[in-house]
Structure 1
Amino acid sequence: MTAGRQLALDLPHREALGREDFLVSDSNAAAVAAIDSWPDWPHSGLVLVGPEGSGKSHLVSVWRQLSGARTLSVRDVAGDPQALMAGAGAVIIEDCGPGLDETAMFHLFNAVERSGADILLTARTEPRAWGIGLSDLMSRLSRLPVVRLEAPDDSLLLAVMMKQFADRQLSVDVSVLRYLAPRVERSFAAVRDIVARLDRAAIEEKRPVTRALAARILNEDEGETG
């Protein structure tokens, strides 16, 4: 191992995922307002749409805490709907989209309606883009309001970057944040990636996160794609 460096272990860090930790801007205000409006949801459901890393998982966590919802994946939907809904007053189905089991989803919707539960679906695209062939399922999906998380604007990107560093207990000068913000892909996934890499580099090299370190990490990206 090179002198002056130490092994950066892949130890987990705790992200703050409460409602008070969710940063609001024009790009996500509608989605936040929709989650906050529960339990006064029309048709007792909602579809939350946005790209990977847009904040869907955070809002799902917020709603789970509010509602006590049971979380299912699209693969879980193929199980017995009565068993899936047993004792659940609310349910979350994550990562919906093309290729889902339409018959199983339809039966689950029926079980949800019979139990009087609320349902939150997450997806990258709106239901009309899923290629649903089962008209009864499409009818039920069409009743649900769709709210979208847009790509983060400048103020939100900077704030999320600051929060990501804070979640890792890293103190970073605002000049570093302002240097990074216009140079990373405009997505929360990209922000998480660059913050994680800077955290790792700072641990390995026993140094703070500086603009010089940020520039080097970004230049390594350019070298890989050049």
Structure 2
Amino acid sequence: MPKQVPLPLEFHGTKAFESFHPGPNIQVLDTLQALSRNQEEAFVFLWADKGLGKSHLLQATCRASVLKNACYLPLAETNRFGPELLQGIDSRGLVCIDDIEQIAGHPEWEEAIFHFFNRHRENRNPLLFSASVPPAKIGIKLPDLASRLKSGLTLQLQNMNDQDKLEALTLKAKSMGLDLHEDVGRFLLRRYPRDLPTLWTILETLDYASLSEKRKLTIPFLKLQLGDL
């Protein structure tokens, strides 16, 4: 009997719809919230450039699902285990598979995902896949799987403007227990890289520093802690 591999089902506390600022992506958020309530398309494919929050949204959808035993599978972290990782998850309610492009060009994985897809859909359970490119550009070699990936509702996360990034930054800071005034947030956006992962890393640095030194987040404090990052 093959050894059972534990599935990565841990949901991080901040990965919820409430901690995601949609900006121009309100339609995407509405659709995924409906999917979590089992009220939307049976298969949704979400793609986005790195750092726009697709993994956050997959975990949030899984976390909010009204169906029992929802499953989040991050292939960028788990594909090293092999396709046996898929054993048994076709009986789950909602399955969210992140970074599906990781299996492109790997015949065993492509075959396994294809059969999993068919079994899961036969059970009339919803699916949510994600990638950094649209379905047609993933590079899947198995024609039947490539066709399946293009068969559902395809959504794209759009880049945020500076105002949306400021609001996202403020929401993230609030979820961390930080009081980020608007002038401090705008200073961060002017002086440091504006991609969201970098901004989150900066917030974590500031969170640790403010707790250690018992200081509020002010522009002089940011300059002292971050310098010319």
Same fold (TM over 0.5): yes
Q: CA deviation at 1:161?
A: 1.1
Secondary structure of the corresponding residue to residue 157 of structure 1: helix
Please show how residues 44-193 of structure 1 align to structure 2 within 5 Å: 44-64=42-62, 65-68=64-67, 69-74=70-75, 75=79, 78-79=83-84, 83-86=88-91, 88-100=92-104, 101-193=109-201
Paired position in structure 1 for 2:20 = 22
RMSD: 2.3
Deviations 1:154-197 (A, max 9, x none): 22211111122212212232211121123333322122111111
Which consecutive unaligned segments of at least 5 residues does structure 2 have?
1-11
Give, as a single letter, the amino acid of the residue that structure 1 aligns with 2:167.
Answer: A
TM-score by length of 1: 0.80
Secondary structure of the corresponding residue to residue 178 of structure 2: coil
Give, as a single letter, the amino acid of the residue that structure 1 aligns with 2:179.
Answer: S
Deviations 1:19-70 (A, max 9, x none): 33432322x223113213333434x111111233312233223321124421
CA–CA distance in structure 2, aligned partners of residues 192 and 135 of structure 1: 39
CA contact (8 A) 1:81 1:111 kept: no
Moved over 6 A (4+): none
Distance change in 2, residues 1:80/1:162 (3 Å): closer
Identity, in percent, stands at 25
Secondary structure of the corresponding residue to residue 166 of structure 1: helix
Aligned length: 205
Which consecutive unaligned segments of at least 5 residues does structure 1 have?
1-13, 222-226
TM-score by length of 2: 0.79
Q: CA deviation at 1:210?
A: 1.2
